[in-house]
Amino acid sequence: MNKAEAEAKQAEEQAAAAAAAAKKRQEEEAAGAAAEKRHQEEVAARVAAERKLQEEQLQFKEEQLKRQKLRAKGLTRCREADSKRQRVRCEKRVKRKFGAPKGAKQ
C-alpha cells in the first residue's frame, strides 16, 4: 500500500504540475495579448494625435492665407483713397483688422 500511495501521490503531483504549467502558459498568453492590445491602442492614439495636429496646422495655414489675401485686397483699396490722411487711416484699420491675431506666432 505504501508503494501505491507513493505512486498515487506522485501522479497527483505531476497532474498538479501539468495543470499549473498550463495555467501559467494561459496567463502568459493573456498577458501577451493584453500587451499587444495596449500597443495597438497606443499606436492608434499616436496616429490620431498626429492626424489632428496636421489638420490644425492645415486649418491655421488656410486661415493665415485668407487673412493675407483680405489684407492685400484691403490695402489695395486703401491706396485708392484721395487724401493721405484717409489712406493712412484706412491702412491702419486694415492692418489691425487683418493682421496676425494677438499672441500668434508667425
81-93 pLDDT, tens per residue? Answer: 889 999 999 999 9
Neighbours of 90 (CB within 10 A): 17
CB of 74 closer than 8 Å to CB of 94: yes
Band of the pLDDT at 1, cuts 50, 70, 90? low
Distance CA 95, CA 90 (A): 9
pLDDT at 75 over 80: yes
